[in-house]
Amino acid sequence: MPKESAINRRNHLADWVCKRNHKMALSCGACRRAGAKCLVDVSSGYCARCLERHLKCNLVVTEADWERLERAREKVEQELKDTVAQVLAAEEFCCVLLLKQLCLLEQLGLVDCRDKEMSAQC
Protein backbone atom coordinates (compact mmCIF):
# COMPACT_ATOMS: atom_id res chain seq x y z
CA MET A 1 0.00 0.00 0.00
CA PRO A 2 1.53 3.30 -1.02
CA LYS A 3 -0.23 5.23 1.75
CA GLU A 4 1.28 3.09 4.46
CA SER A 5 4.76 3.30 3.05
CA ALA A 6 4.47 7.09 3.11
CA ILE A 7 3.59 6.94 6.79
CA ASN A 8 6.45 4.54 7.41
CA ARG A 9 8.79 6.85 5.64
CA ARG A 10 7.62 9.75 7.76
CA ASN A 11 7.93 7.71 10.95
CA HIS A 12 11.36 6.63 9.85
CA LEU A 13 12.30 10.26 9.28
CA ALA A 14 10.96 11.21 12.71
CA ASP A 15 13.03 8.40 14.25
CA TRP A 16 16.07 9.55 12.37
CA VAL A 17 15.58 13.12 13.57
CA CYS A 18 15.12 11.79 17.10
CA LYS A 19 18.40 9.90 16.96
CA ARG A 20 20.62 12.60 15.62
CA ASN A 21 18.81 15.59 16.97
CA HIS A 22 19.45 18.03 19.74
CA LYS A 23 17.26 19.08 22.56
CA MET A 24 16.26 22.70 22.30
CA ALA A 25 16.11 25.15 25.14
CA LEU A 26 13.06 26.59 23.44
CA SER A 27 10.17 24.40 22.33
CA CYS A 28 8.06 24.96 19.27
CA GLY A 29 4.43 26.03 19.82
CA ALA A 30 2.99 22.52 19.52
CA CYS A 31 5.49 20.97 21.93
CA ARG A 32 5.15 23.82 24.38
CA ARG A 33 1.35 23.47 24.42
CA ALA A 34 1.67 19.70 24.90
CA GLY A 35 4.45 20.09 27.45
CA ALA A 36 6.55 17.70 25.38
CA LYS A 37 10.25 17.68 24.70
CA CYS A 38 11.07 19.56 21.54
CA LEU A 39 13.78 17.86 19.56
CA VAL A 40 15.03 19.52 16.46
CA ASP A 41 17.25 18.59 13.59
CA VAL A 42 19.69 21.23 12.43
CA SER A 43 19.35 20.54 8.73
CA SER A 44 15.54 20.37 8.55
CA GLY A 45 14.86 22.94 11.27
CA TYR A 46 11.74 21.03 12.32
CA CYS A 47 11.15 19.07 15.47
CA ALA A 48 10.69 15.29 15.62
CA ARG A 49 7.33 15.44 17.35
CA CYS A 50 5.79 17.65 14.67
CA LEU A 51 7.21 15.45 11.91
CA GLU A 52 5.74 12.41 13.60
CA ARG A 53 2.32 13.98 14.15
CA HIS A 54 2.21 15.79 10.81
CA LEU A 55 1.89 19.09 12.61
CA LYS A 56 2.92 22.40 11.19
CA CYS A 57 6.05 23.21 13.12
CA ASN A 58 6.69 26.84 13.92
CA LEU A 59 10.22 26.15 15.04
CA VAL A 60 12.71 27.44 12.54
CA VAL A 61 16.35 27.02 13.38
CA THR A 62 18.84 28.52 11.03
CA GLU A 63 22.56 27.74 11.02
CA ALA A 64 23.21 31.13 12.61
CA ASP A 65 20.69 30.35 15.36
CA TRP A 66 22.39 27.03 15.89
CA GLU A 67 25.81 28.59 16.18
CA ARG A 68 24.44 31.17 18.59
CA LEU A 69 22.97 28.37 20.66
CA GLU A 70 26.26 26.48 20.63
CA ARG A 71 28.14 29.56 21.75
CA ALA A 72 25.59 30.16 24.51
CA ARG A 73 26.04 26.55 25.63
CA GLU A 74 29.82 26.89 25.68
CA LYS A 75 29.52 30.06 27.73
CA VAL A 76 27.27 28.40 30.30
CA GLU A 77 29.53 25.34 30.40
CA GLN A 78 32.55 27.57 31.04
CA GLU A 79 30.67 29.40 33.76
CA LEU A 80 29.70 26.09 35.33
CA LYS A 81 33.33 24.94 35.26
CA ASP A 82 34.43 28.18 36.94
CA THR A 83 31.74 27.80 39.58
CA VAL A 84 32.76 24.21 40.31
CA ALA A 85 36.35 25.40 40.74
CA GLN A 86 35.14 28.13 43.09
CA VAL A 87 33.14 25.60 45.12
CA LEU A 88 36.23 23.38 45.42
CA ALA A 89 38.36 26.35 46.49
CA ALA A 90 35.70 27.36 49.01
CA GLU A 91 35.59 23.82 50.38
CA GLU A 92 39.35 23.81 50.75
CA PHE A 93 39.22 27.17 52.52
CA CYS A 94 36.46 25.80 54.74
CA CYS A 95 38.70 22.85 55.66
CA VAL A 96 41.53 25.20 56.61
CA LEU A 97 39.16 27.23 58.79
CA LEU A 98 37.81 24.06 60.38
CA LEU A 99 41.35 22.91 61.24
CA LYS A 100 42.10 26.31 62.69
CA GLN A 101 38.92 26.11 64.76
CA LEU A 102 39.90 22.68 66.10
CA CYS A 103 43.39 23.97 66.85
CA LEU A 104 42.01 26.95 68.76
CA LEU A 105 39.61 24.74 70.71
CA GLU A 106 42.53 22.54 71.66
CA GLN A 107 44.52 25.56 72.76
CA LEU A 108 41.55 26.79 74.77
CA GLY A 109 41.35 23.40 76.43
CA LEU A 110 45.03 23.57 77.35
CA VAL A 111 44.61 27.06 78.79
CA ASP A 112 41.60 25.88 80.79
CA CYS A 113 43.63 22.96 82.08
CA ARG A 114 46.49 25.20 83.15
CA ASP A 115 43.97 27.51 84.80
CA LYS A 116 42.49 24.63 86.82
CA GLU A 117 45.95 23.40 87.80
CA MET A 118 46.92 26.85 89.05
CA SER A 119 43.63 27.21 90.95
CA ALA A 120 44.16 23.82 92.60
CA GLN A 121 47.63 24.79 93.72
CA CYS A 122 46.31 27.82 95.54
Select from 71, 14, 4 the least CA-distant residue to 44: 14
Residue 14 binds to Zn ion (criterion: CB under 5 A): no
Given candidates 14, 17, 38, 61, which one binds Zn ion under the rule CB under 5 A?
Answer: 38
The burial of 8, by beta-carbon neighbours within 10 Å (0-12 exposed, 13-18 middle, 19 or more buried), is given as exposed
CA angle 71, 73, 74 (to 5 degrees): 65
Binding span for Zn ion by CB under 5 A among 1-9, 10-18, 22-30, 104-112 = 22-30
Q: Which stretch binds Zn ion (CB under 5 A): 41-49, 65-73, 75-83, 87-95?
A: 41-49
Residue 38: CB minimum distance to Zn ion, A: 3
